[in-house]
Chains A and B, each alone.
Chain A
Amino acid sequence: MPFQLSKIQPSKSSITPPEDVSLNFTLSSSVGVKYIINYSLAKANNLYFKKADGTRTKQFSYEGTMGSAVAVFNEDVRIVSEGPKAYTFFTIKVTAKEGLNGDIKSCKISIS
């Protein structure tokens, strides 16, 4: 019963917040396995996800069930920043969990 995240591939290697970026990755497991996917940004930086309702958050998650052995994700996220440019790069961490088991991967995006 594998439970494995692939590398996260961002659609852009460099962005200027506020800007959208698409995160592409796959989750391998067994059909019917329930999972939780969590997206997070570092607490310490001044970057946030902007949700559809306009609010800002450091993380968001949702649940799903594996319909096939490999689930493909294309998650569009909008990155916004508070204050002046203080970082040259940031990472988005994706955590997939199935019960106690889980897998974590990060991707790096430069700030231009």
Chain B
Amino acid sequence: MKHLVPSGGNLFFKVFFLLYFCHIAVDAQVVTKQKTVTKTSTAVLIGATEITLDISGRSFSDILPFDIPFILAGTQGVNSKITLDKIISIECFYKVRKDIKNNEKFPDPSEQKRYQDWEDGRMYAFWENNGSDAKWRLSIKELPPNRNFSFFFKFKRKLSDDEKTKLVNHAVKIIPKLINQKADNSVVSLSIKDMDEIMYATINQLNVDLMGSGQEIDEIALSEMNRKIVLKAMEEVAFAFEERIDEQESISMNFDALKGDSTALAKFLSGYKTSADKNAGNVSAMNNVVNSLKSIFSYPKGENAINPENAKNYLNQIEYVKAELEKAQFQDGSPFNNIKNTFIGHLEDLARNFNEYIESINNTITITNTETNNFITAVVNSFEDEIIVNSSTINHNFVTRSNSFITADIGVALMPSIAKMVPYLGTNIYLRPINQDRPLFMKDLFKLRDFDRRFSLMLGLTYITLKKDGYRDDLMGTFNLITGAGIRIADFVKVNGGVIWHTRLNPNPLNTNNTVRGLGFVSLSIDLQINTVFNKLFGANVITLPTKP
């Protein structure tokens, strides 16, 4: 019959753990929950783990590391065609997904309060393009293990000068057409609603033209400031149109006046041709005037009407008619002189109208180009792409996950009760996943937040025999079971305490009913993963995993 009787124990072990837990308890009372967002550019961590954002798959290249800061990196925007040089800055908000329940949706980026929802109390990272980085990098603060996360990225981007020019060339054609559609026949009157419609129709049309180019514009992202710039741009274009329309109407009125002059002239000519006062030069000039009037009264319409070259040609026609009229000379008192003077006056008015009209055409073109450039600049300054990427610090592979909970170390245990030291091989079982890449600092030894990263249960085997003839035997062959708990006091050094279990032989040599007894111990151990360090220091295989005792 065997009895499990722990015995021994030691003062050091008890005092150490008593003091340790007392400090932890005090620390627990002063810890307050802090939740702040610091919106400053985060310095890139040198040598940190780097996770790549897979743009097309909206995923990260690996499971997110926990307990250590790391880097999210990439070389593109949210569209593979948006290269690094076109990215101005990236903002990243991230949070634990514990607030997402069942089928509850993630915040929709199109919602008005989308940023606020992500900015309130969430973690934040920021990267700004200084032109020298080979990729964008966001330094992410350490994440807790076993959690799901959502990352909300806002990419601010720009266009190259060439791309912007292309966009302006598109918009220059679209905007006047849309203003024309909205404008009254004679008076341009655009409401805010009209201008909004033109603005969004322009952006939509641009997006259709740009589809697949990676330069689609997110009109929702237009800031209020930029919206004002866009509306002002359309206002200027609309007024330039109106001034051109004014000149066209002035010309139209002068046409009517000239038609009256033409009728009066025709009446005079019919009488003049039959009179004896014929003059070959006058007749020739009059005929030229009458023939040219046909072209004057048939000025092009539609798109051709606003062609400056057509307008200049027309102006030449007016000057020609005027010159021909001035050639015709009649004696004082002739009714022709009144007709001629009125006619020339109206031609001069029309010529002036046409000069102003040509100026207004050019002005419309200039203003449309300038303001479209302003429009596009405002829109381009609002280029923002947003994506949400979900990920996790949970490793779903059992074997891999177990590596986060279990470590192995080698140590030396002191058993004061029998004044012996034994080497042992231990297995440490943590109560939460730990990331051994996270450095432990002595100053945090008594901090509550570090406790579960340091504390582990221990199970192992002593490496040499504790056998004492007639008194004590090893529990399993030449091994003895060692159980206990430990605290990592540094990255790879642990202080442990517990019991080494052995067989206590029955003092009666005829009685084989032995008991299992425990011997208290304290120990120092080092993590087995650093065996390579020792090997490098002292030559090959100073520390090797034991095969057989």
Interface window among B41-49, B111-119, B239-247, B265-273: B239-247
Q: Within the assembled complex, what's the spacing in Å between the Cα atoms of A104 and B353?
A: 10
Q: Is the CB of B193 within 8 A of A42?
A: no
Contacts of B353 in A (CB 8 A): 103
Min C-beta distance of B466 to chain A, whole Å: 93
Contacts of A54 in B (CB 8 A): none
Q: Is the CB of B246 within 8 A of A42?
A: no
Interface residues of B in 187-235 (CB under 8 A from A): 187-193, 195, 231-232, 235
Q: Is the CB of A108 within 8 A of B239?
A: yes
Q: Within the assembled complex, what's the spacing in Å between the Cα atoms of A109 and B247?
A: 19
What interface size band does chain A fall in?
Answer: 20 to 34
Decide yes or no whether B447 CB sits under 8 A from chain A. no
Q: Within the assembled complex, what's the spacing in Å between the Cα atoms of A3 and B258?
A: 14
Decide yes or no whether B345 CB sits under 8 A from chain A. yes
Contacts of A101 in B (CB 8 A): 253-254, 256-257, 346, 349
Contacts of A44 in B (CB 8 A): 184, 187, 189, 191
B162-190 CB mask vs A (1 if < 8 Å, else 0) is 00000000000000000000001001111
Decide yes or no whether B249 CB sits under 8 A from chain A. yes
Q: Within the assembled complex, what's the spacing in Å between the Cα atoms of A43 and B185?
A: 10
Which of A41, A87, A90 has the most B CB atoms < 10 Å from its CB?
A87
Q: Is the CB of B189 within 8 A of A45?
A: yes
Q: Is the CB of B249 within 8 A of A88?
A: no
Decide yes or no whether A52 CB sits under 8 A from chain B. no
Q: Chain B binding site: helix, strand, loop or mixed by DSSP?
A: helix
Which of A44, A90, A104 has the most B CB atoms < 10 Å from its CB?
A104
Contacts of A42 in B (CB 8 A): 184, 187-189
Min C-beta distance of A54 to chain B, whole Å: 24
Decide yes or no whether A93 CB sits under 8 A from chain B. yes
Write the chain A residue with the least CB distance to B182: A44
Contacts of A89 in B (CB 8 A): 190, 235, 238-239
Contacts of A41 in B (CB 8 A): 187
Contacts of A85 in B (CB 8 A): 192
Q: Within the assembled complex, what's the spacing in Å between the Cα atoms of A95 and B250?
A: 9
Interface residues of A in 22-45 (CB under 8 A from B): 40-45
19 more contacts with CB within 8 A, not counting A40-B187, A44-B184, A102-B254, are A1-B345, A1-B346, A3-B345, A42-B187, A43-B189, A44-B191, A85-B192, A87-B191, A87-B192, A89-B239, A91-B189, A100-B257, A100-B260, A101-B254, A103-B250, A103-B253, A104-B246, A105-B243, A110-B235
Residue pairs across A and B with Cβ atoms less than 8 A apart, 20 shown, are A1-B342, A1-B345, A2-B349, A3-B349, A4-B349, A41-B187, A42-B188, A43-B189, A86-B191, A88-B231, A89-B190, A89-B238, A89-B239, A91-B242, A95-B249, A100-B257, A101-B254, A102-B250, A104-B246, A105-B243
Of all A-B residue pairs in the complex, the 10 with the closest CB atoms, nearest first, are A42-B189, A1-B345, A102-B253, A42-B187, A101-B257, A100-B257, A44-B189, A100-B256, A104-B246, A45-B189
